[in-house]
Structure 1
């Protein structure tokens, strides 16, 4: 009885948190769509400028938080029915009311959402590194591994649909727990890796731009470069601002995912709430990157000075074609050194 009551409380908390974060997500989603389709002056962008891959991902990631709230509401309605039923209405019927199709759909919703989000980060990493396949070879392998393990875990769950799975840790199949834990760990590692590769590339280009600017301003005189502090807002370049945006958004989602992972391994009923919050924050973090990187202007490129190398910030964060421009930047930089 106590365990069943704890599950019911966890479900109610899950619905509350998912509804709360869904409201925040809705605000960020509308703003991100505005940044993708309109410039800062309210002028509609042409189809050639719009980043269609990121627009599609943003729309897809809007479906999963909404579906999660709907599933949470359905689960709580079923739980209330199990208590209020005049025939055999008792807490004993609660586990069967919360398992089967609702738990399977909730699992699929979270898995597919993480797959799309992780894939978007791998795509961004690929674009930032001038579409070099070798750079994303290992992240792609991790993404495919997560896909395979997730499909296998869902198939096992469907076959055992009559038993409480995933969240009902007291009778969870150890095989499903192991598979799910492995997939979750792979997703976390992939997030750390892709974020690190993107930040490293931005830092590298920002350093080259700073060196080129100093060389142009000083002429042939050797100038000692002052390295700007990343967290000093008055001295940050726009590339450093973008780097900070990616770090903060990555940490936001990764922290929640790690908490949810720990709750799952510990067998705590708090996994209900943390997993519901994770799918919401996953989409929020994605939208925040688009919103914050679109400020303070909507220029496709940020120049460091007259005839200085440029770096496509919109391409770097929103996913437009950056390979050609970045290659030109490197050639210009080499020419400036010579």
Structure 2
């Protein structure tokens, strides 16, 4: 990897770090919004712990990645500027650098966490372990290809560095990108189909429509993440070093995609009501179906374990954790 469309690798490194910093700033704001959303006017025992753990891990990994990225940039432009053979351009092209390997290890962990969250959401709405067998197998493929790519980064020879896209290391990177894109699209597709079916049932009972439908929120997040991965795959197919930049940008994008689902769903339910008393008798059949429906973690009243239509109180929609 020598240049990014005519731009030296040192300039590409600066570009990727600056852009990642901007996206990281957005992810921090959205992380704070997520924390506020699931803690506002709630007791500590009512806080959704899985969401808190995932949000914290995403924040920690994003922060660690940009810190290592800044250190990597400082090493190439300042510390080893005059001592590394070939100068900063050769330094940033060297994938065996410890900081570069650590960056990619963090990127792999962030990707595995993000894909795991989507698969878990899929399990929650389907309430069946069989439906996630294939996504889990694909997730294992993502993990294997990610670990192998990080390992080969650390062991790459000079010939492999100079012919990155044609070497074994490039093939592992391509396998990692393709497998995570396929895993995300399959899991999101299964999730979207299930939510579409339940949305049809819920719309027949609720008197007001959601301002931000759950399905649209999930699709928006999936499109954002898929667009970043698709751009990386295109760069690889064209043997373009834009892959270097996109690798840094995907890390905060994973966090943003998770936070946007939680925040937009959690803040769009304040105007939802159940049908009025005059229509209760005519919807008794729908009530029984919804009470028995396996999507209880998706739509439920606060402090209630099931879906009930016994009054006209507001409902709270939990973001598919």
Please name the residue that 1:274 is paired with. Answer: 246
Match of 1:132 among 114, 125, 128: 128
Please name the residue that 1:154 is paired with. Answer: 150
C-alpha deviation, 1:197, in angstroms: 1.4
Cα contact 2:211–2:268 (8 A) shared by 1: no
**What residue ranges of structure 2 are gaps of 5+ in the alignment?**
281-286, 310-321
Q: Does 1:286 align with 2:286?
A: no
The verdict on how the C-alpha distance between 1:325 and 1:247 changes in structure 2, with shifts beyond 3 A counting, is same
Please name the residue that 1:200 is paired with. Answer: 193
Partner Cα distance (2:275, 2:294) in 1: 12
Please name the residue that 1:229 is paired with. Answer: none
Please name the residue that 1:70 is paired with. Answer: 67
Please name the residue that 1:333 is paired with. Answer: none
Deviations 1:158-196 (A, max 9, x none): 333x5487xx56346622222221221111111111111
Q: Does 1:106 align with 2:78?
A: no
Partner Cα distance (1:213, 1:84) in 2: 64
Match of 2:10 among 8, 15, 22: 8
Cα contact 1:122–1:139 (8 A) shared by 2: yes
Partner Cα distance (2:71, 2:106) in 1: 14
TM-score (norm 2): 0.79
The verdict on how the C-alpha distance between 1:169 and 1:288 changes in structure 2, with shifts beyond 3 A counting, is farther
Please name the residue that 1:24 is paired with. Answer: 26
Output aligned runs, 1:1-338, within 5 Å.
3=3, 6-38=8-40, 43-47=41-45, 49-81=46-78, 84-85=81-82, 90=87, 94-95=91-92, 99-129=96-126, 131-160=127-156, 163=158, 170-171=163-164, 174-211=167-204, 237-238=209-210, 241-297=213-269, 303=274, 308=287, 309=290, 315-316=297-298, 325=306
C-alpha deviation, 1:272, in angstroms: 2.2
SS at match of 2:224: helix
Cα contact 1:263–1:271 (8 A) shared by 2: yes
Partner Cα distance (2:89, 2:17) in 1: 21
C-alpha deviation, 1:124, in angstroms: 0.6
Cα contact 1:65–1:280 (8 A) shared by 2: yes
Deviations 1:90-141 (A, max 9, x none): 4575357764211111111111100000000000110011x20111111111
C-alpha deviation, 1:85, in angstroms: 3.1
TM-score (norm 1): 0.75
Cα contact 1:79–1:97 (8 A) shared by 2: no
Partner Cα distance (1:293, 1:197) in 2: 19
Cα contact 1:14–1:273 (8 A) shared by 2: yes
